[in-house]
Amino acid sequence: MELCFATNNQHKLDEVSQLLGDSFKVVSLEAIGCTEELPEEQDTLEGNSLQKAKYVSDKFNISCFADDTGLEVEALDGAPGVYSARYAGEQRSSEDNMNLLLEKLVNQTNRKARFRTVITLILDNQTYQFEGIANGEILESKRGEKGFGYDPLFLPEGMNKSMAELTSTEKNAISHRGEAVRKLVAFLKQH
């Protein structure tokens, strides 16, 4: 069975393909001829994930899944949340986003946070959603060179390394996206 993952991120595609094994062929947006930016106009991760999956499914008539991820900081009432990528503006700069987050948390003792990923699968005209959560806290300063986004500021619960200091294998074992993908894979293997 062929499934489109609504992304052109090769790392994400490889990771999911490896987890799904030979039963499913995972293709990118580029592979199905989708070159436009997918809409993300909703105010929840669930809504954005669904909007992207539905857009691809409707326009290209293919079974697909899409994800949306946000960093939710307790002291900021869940912000930046669904706006994580654009927290410091439309330029989507990870550096600017991290700097703004640190600025907003100055003198804040509650630094609890979580990464949350929602994957929406549209298969045989049915919609399914899978969630993954990684709990932790926001560090006082950036640590590590790996990963992307807010990874240098996020210390996963029970660990002494930031997400950006973990190997990809270590990160996938505990990450929000890894958990959501494992739920998706388990569902597809039973379907």
Each domain of the chain, given as residue ranges in start order, spans 2-190
pLDDT of amino acid 117: 94
Q: What is the DSSP string of 108-136?
A: -S--EEEEEEEEEEEETTEEEEEEEEEEE
CA gap 153, 105 in Å, rounded = 12
Both structure tokens of 49: 């994930």
Q: Which CATH number fits domain 2-190: 3.40.50.880, 2.70.160.11, 3.90.950.10, 3.90.1150.10?
A: 3.90.950.10
Tell me which residues are annotated as active site.
68
Tens-level pLDDT at each residue, the chain (191 residues): 789 999 887 777 877 777 777 778 889 999 999 999 899 899 999 999 999 999 999 999 999 999 999 999 999 999 999 999 899 998 889 999 999 999 999 999 999 999 999 999 999 999 999 999 999 999 999 999 987 889 999 999 999 999 999 988 888 889 898 899 899 989 988 88
Amino acid at 9: N
Q: What is the DSSP string of 25-79?
A: EEE-TGGGT--SPPP---SSHHHHHHHHHHHHHHHH---EEEEEEEEEEGGGTT-
pLDDT of amino acid 37: 87
- Terminal-residue alpha carbon distance, the chain: 11
Residues 6+ apart with CB under 8 A from 133: 114, 115, 116, 117, 176, 179
CA gap 188, 53 in Å, rounded = 16
Torsion sign, CA atoms 161, 150, 6, 135: positive
The partner residues of 64 in beta bridges, in order of sequence, read: 4, 122
Q: How far is CA 17 from the centre of its chain?
A: 16
CA gap 49, 166 in Å, rounded = 26
pLDDT of amino acid 25: 87
Angle at 23 between CA 21 and CA 29, to 5 degrees: 80
pLDDT of amino acid 16: 79
pTM of the model: 0.91
Biggest alpha carbon distance in the chain? 52
